[in-house]
Structure 1
Amino acid sequence: MTQPMARAAAPIHEQIYTRFRSMIEQGQLSPGQKVSSLRALATELGVARGTVQVAYDRLLGEGYLVARGPAGTFVSEHTAPARPAHAKKAPVAARPFARPSAPETIVDMEGGNPAPLQMGLPALDEFPRKVWARLMTRQARKVGSLNKPPPAGYMPLREALAAYLHRSRGIDAHAAQVFIVPAYTASLALIVDALGLARESAWIEHPCYPPTAQTLKRMGLRICNVPVDEHGIDVGFGRKRFKNARLAVVTPSHQSPTGVALPLQRRVELLDWADAHDAWIVEDDYDGEYRYRGHPLPALKSMDACGRVIYCGTLSKVLFPGLRLSYVVVAPNLVPQFELACRRTVHGGCPELMQAVVADFIAEGHFSRHIKRMRTLYARRRAMLAEALAPYAADGFVVHLQDGGMHLLVDVREDLDDVALASRACDAGFAVRALTTWRNGSHGRRGLLMGFTNISSQAQAQRLVTELFRAFDLRAR
């Protein structure tokens, strides 16, 4: 029998990554040039979109590519070719990538039904559609809801969010301090613009959510990787190694992706550093509502006596991803410059109709009830996935249950390549991510990130895990 090409050569995602990097470094792809979309390249190569996603994530994380939302993905403007500038440009259509020998399942990462174990998605099957439809119908009858929203956001929504954050996260802010933006990356862009931080240095957690580094690099900041240990970001390391940084982006309630919570001592150290160095802290509280032991931790912003913390929250991960609605909370003295920056960068954000519906959803108590119900549901679904994974601990796949979050981190034994495992999972239709890609490919702890929010039964969890480990094909090693 002929040996499959995928076993004889490097993994497909590695070939894609290596080829793109070479083409960029050799000047075959120019700075600013648009590259193929995930769907187009996957179709062209006959591979799963998830396989291309793994390669693109690594290229984005290392700064070779930049994502510009609906406009597409481009070669970074800051990437210089390794060859002399006068060298003749080679054609793009050079040596093709090796193709796998069998058809692959395409993972739907951009819409439709969620792929199995996909991260960052709420429980779509439990969203209160009837309530939402009623509120939507009511708002659609109002002429004002069809207008373009103010640059800083729809005022009733800003008021509703300010009241909710005061109750649930301990943040004392007026509506004028809340700014509505279309997404987390837009939040970072707004903050950098409003505070004039372009070309400054920024601490980011290592590992961290890949779009954080991508967005800051695109905005012209220098990235400083500060390691995360069992207590979160190592503030002492950052102070010693990167003394001139003016920004720190952190996930203190539930570190992304390791899941650890930043303890009180380090929170105080971080606030002291910002105050002493005229620096700013971005608190990304992407899933702070979901804590399964004890009460949700208070936000870092609630401890901020000097106005150095910029709080970022999202409704897309709590309600549904198509909403594309996030928000930023700033100190009172920063309101004027953020209002000016909104006019420059946000351009209206989420449609006013959707903002109005969310405002009603929060003001009428549906939001708080939904959060409470999802907290109970996610605790149960989290336990289902953990139980299904438990027998594989003997094979070196160990689940570390943290107190909160919407995904599990599964440690992988040292002799296995987590990126390769994630690629095989994607080829089989799973949306599992490798921890290594969240460290920009650097060496360190290996693991797999798995979402549990859309698992509906213990039987489904068992079936998915069985199919996942079949896709890993550990006996083939």
Structure 2
Amino acid sequence: MSRFGLVFSLDPQHKAPLYRQIYQRVKRAIMEGQLKRGSRVPSVRALASELGVARATVENAYGLLTAEGFLQSRGQAGTMVSAPESLSAPAPSPAAKSAPRKPINPMLPSVSSLPFQLGLPALDAFPRAIWSRIVARQSRHTAMNDLGHPPLTGIDALRASVARYLQLSRGFTCRPEQIFICGGYAPVLDLIIGSLLQPGDGVWLEDPGYPVTQAFFRAAGATPLAVNVDEEGMNVPQAVAHHPHARFAVVTPAHQSPLGVTMSLSRRMALLDWAAKQQAWIIEDDYDSEFRYHGQPLPSLKSLDTQGRVIYAGTFSKVMFPALRCGYVVVPESLVEKIEAYCPLRICGTPPLIQAGITEFIDQGHFYRHLKRMRQLYAERRGYLEQALKAAFSPDVLQVNRQAGGIQLCTTLNSTLDDALIAKNAREQGLAVQALSDWQVQRRDRHDRLRPNGLLMGFPNISSQEMANLLVARLAQIVTDSGMITGSTK
């Protein structure tokens, strides 16, 4: 087929549908460097004519490639290869092909966004023009004093803006001096652990829970204590009964990560009571409470804290974009001096120019308008994915969990299916699906009824029902091709 610079034919008897055969061959041509970045591919009409298939078959193949970032439609200019240059490289030598691959770490974010990637906001909906003007203006107005060493705790203007925002949206008051700007959630944990934790300290962790949190506490020599999560959130009575003398508890009360449940008021009060009696610390990870689809965002656990035991962690990565590398932590008054003393060992990693830009973005009202738009948009995009999943899978195979907010969708799988294997196969095919079982704190056998079994998927960058249908069809095909469910998809 001359337009491609290579020749291939389709096999109607092959188990893969024709559109997937086209998808696989074009993708392979891009990955092996036969199709270069910026080169034009045949139109849908032309390719359908040459292969002798319906236009819809080619449209489905191109749709999948576009959703994954391999192709880009440029209107009348045609459809172009848009994959990174690093993919359009010569085919590896036989020796390179036989080299063992490093295992994929499902918790590490991809260099570029992949379908279903967790923690990634809607990049297409961020007001980039406004942000660019703000940063450009900040850069033009750089003063001589701005060129020196930046404050270790974050610039004062941003700390003050965050304090005002938290009072308005999260229901608690704090002084700017209690706020420490960090280069994301991991540096927030590093600051807290380095300042307060002693090796061997017990830490209550939600099970299942965010793997990064588990990894940090394990690396610091803490003793992770798995606490089950039910429909009311972390099971505090269970934790008090079995591990009363822990020194920390890490919770996501507004929207539990990953199950999406909200911690009940009785559990919140029990947790605060335990912390006050034990002089323990509660780390409230409020990672995406801004995105609630029904009603206003729930009050934070910090707003109920009268004894100064809650350390509140927030981030701009989910509400703006991850490349900012900016988060913050609010500590009780009693810890300000101790945290300040530790700051020289763990300086703020967010450049002052970016901090100043975020400050202006908040103070000019862009931040609040953006959050309002995103709540509506995410409710719509979650609906796309939920509808596609319900159409592709029967309820006895996969069910979508009910959630009031957040930017990831959680599903439950039939107990006979292996979520870790499904997720592994999906990642190898370019879908950033994660398995609930990979988020366990206490590892359990597949036959243990307490073992979480489901799939996690991000949806903010699914911009249409058509895209959702194509991606879910691909996921369903991966599951079917893997031989894990026979005749269970619709």
TM-score scaled by length of structure 1:
0.77
- What SS class does the counterpart of residue 52 from structure 1 fall into? coil
Q: Which one has more relative contact order, counting CA pairs under 8 Å at least 6 apart?
A: 1
Residue-by-residue CA offset, 1:144-183 (whole Å, 9 max, x unaligned): 4444421111110000000000000012101111000112
* Higher alpha-carbon Rg: 2
Q: Are 1:397 and 2:398 matched, yes or no?
A: yes
CA distance in 2, matches of 1:110, 1:161: 29
Instruction: Determine if contact 2:208/2:452 at 8 Å carries over to the other structure.
Output: no
The C-alpha deviation readout for 1:346-388, integer Å capped at 9, x for no partner, is 2232111111101111111111111111111000001110011
C-alpha spacing 1:356/1:146, structure 2 compared with 1 (3 Å): farther
Structure 1 pair 418–432 and aligned structure 2 pair: CA distance change class (3 A): same
> Aligned with 1:253: secondary structure?
coil
2:459 pairs, out of 452, 456, 461, with 452
2:124 is aligned with 1:125 = yes
- Counterpart residue number, 2:246: 245
What does residue 488 of structure 2 align with? Answer: none
- Change in Cα spacing, 1:217 to 1:44, as seen in structure 2 (3 Å) is farther
Q: Show CA shifts across 1:108-134 (max 9, x none).
A: x4323x100111001001111111111
SS where residue 194 of structure 2 aligns? helix
1:409 paired to 2:410: yes
Q: 1-side partners of 2:412 and 2:378: how far apart?
A: 21
Once residues 146 and 209 of structure 1 are traced to their aligned partners in structure 2, the CA distance between those partners, rounded to angstroms, is: 37
User: 1:45: Cα distance to partner?
Assistant: 6.5
| Distance of 1:270 and 1:341 partners within structure 2 | 27
In the other structure, the counterpart of 2:371 is 371
Q: Which amino acid aligns with 1:451?
A: G
Equivalent position amino acid for 2:469 in 1: Q
Q: Distance in 2 between matches of 1:414 and 1:139?
A: 54
Between 273-282 and 330-339, the greater mean CA deviation after superposition: 330-339
Q: Secondary structure at the match of 1:262?
A: coil
2-side partners of 1:156 and 1:275: how far apart? 32
SS of alignment partner, residue 476 of structure 1: coil
Q: 1:256-313: per-residue Cα shift (whole Å, max 9, x none)?
A: 0000000100000000000000101000000010111121100100110000000000
Match of 1:317, SS?
Answer: coil
Deviation (angstroms), 1:218: 1.2
The 8 Å contact of residues 48 and 427 in structure 1, kept in 2 or not, is answered as no
Equivalent residue, structure 1, for 2:360: 360
Q: Could you tell me how far apart the structure 2 residues matched to 1:150 and 1:475 are?
A: 53
- What is the aligned partner in structure 2 of residue 469 from structure 1? 476
Q: How far apart in 2 are the matches of 1:257 and 1:45?
A: 37
Cα distance in 1, alignment partners of residues 340 and 368 from structure 2: 28
Match of 1:203, SS?
strand
CA change 1:196–1:414 in 2 (3 A) is closer
Amino acid at match of 1:453: P
**Residue aligned with 2:104, SS:** helix
Change in 2 beyond 3 A, CA 1:195/1:44: farther
Task: Using the TM superposition, name which of 369-378 and 146-155 deviates more.
Answer: 146-155
Provide the C-alpha distance between the structure 1 equivalents of 2:464 and 2:158, rounded to a whole number of angstroms.
35
- Specify the alignment match of 1:90 in structure 2: none
> Residue 22 of structure 2 aligns with which residue?
none
**By how many angstroms is 1:217 displaced?**
1.1
SS in 2 for 1:387: helix
SS in 2 for 1:204: strand
Aligned to 1:101: none
Question: 1:476 and 1:150 mapped to 2: Cα distance?
Answer: 56
AA aligned to 1:476 is G
Deviation at 1:52, TM superposition (A): 1.4
Q: TM-score, normalised by structure 2?
A: 0.75
Partner of 1:62: none
Cα distance in structure 2, aligned partners of 1:158 and 1:379: 30
Q: Give the whole-Å Cα distance in 1 for the aligned partners of 2:181 and 2:100.
A: 38
Partner SS, residue 181 of structure 2 = strand
Aligned CA distance change for structure 1 residues 310 and 466 (closer, same or farther; 3 Å)? same
1:194 Cα deviation from its structure 2 partner? 2.1
In 1, are the aligned partners of 2:440 and 2:452 still within 8 Å (CA)?
A: no
| Offset at residue 475 of structure 1 (A) | 7.0
Unaligned runs of 5+ in 1: 1-38, 58-66, 68-108
Cα distance change of structure 1 residues 453 and 295 upon mapping to structure 2, 3 Å threshold: same
Question: How many Å separate the matches in 2 of 1:421 and 1:287?
Answer: 27
Assess, with a 3 A threshold, how the Cα gap between structure 1 residues 153 and 44 changes in structure 2: closer, same or farther.
farther
Instruction: Tell me, in whole angstroms, the C-alpha distance in 1 between the residues paired with 2:177 and 2:454.
Output: 42
Match status 1:140 vs 2:139: yes
Matches within 5 A, 1:283-302: 283-302=284-303
Identity over aligned pairs, percent:
44
Q: 1:48·1:426 contact (CA, 8 Å) conserved in 2?
A: no
CA contact under 8 A between 1:139 and 1:145: conserved in structure 2? no
Secondary structure of the corresponding residue to residue 393 of structure 1: coil
Task: Give the conservation status (yes or no) of the 8 Å contact 2:158–2:359.
Answer: yes
Q: Which residue does the alignment assign to 1:383?
A: 383
Within a 5 Å distance, the mapping from 1:20-419 to structure 2 comes to 52-54=104-106, 109-112=109-112, 114-141=113-140, 142-143=142-143, 144-344=145-345, 346-391=346-391, 392-419=393-420
Q: How many residues align?
A: 381
Counterpart Cα distance in 1 of 2:178 and 2:304? 16
Where structure 2 has 5 or more consecutive residues not aligned to the other structure, the ranges are 1-86, 88-95, 446-450, 485-490
Distance (whole Å) between structure 2 residues aligned to residue 213 and residue 358 of structure 1: 29
Cα distance change, pair 136–242 in 1 and its aligned pair in 2 (3 A) = same
Please report how far the alpha carbon of residue 192 of structure 1 lies from its aligned counterpart in structure 2 after TM superposition: 2.0
Deviation at 1:198? Answer: 3.6
Counterpart Cα distance in 1 of 2:426 and 2:98: 18
CA positional deviation for 1:191? 1.1
Q: Is the contact between residue 146 and residue 353 of structure 1 (CA under 8 Å) also seen in structure 2?
A: no
Q: Which segments of structure 1 move beyond 3 Å, counting only runs of 4 or more?
A: 43-49, 144-148
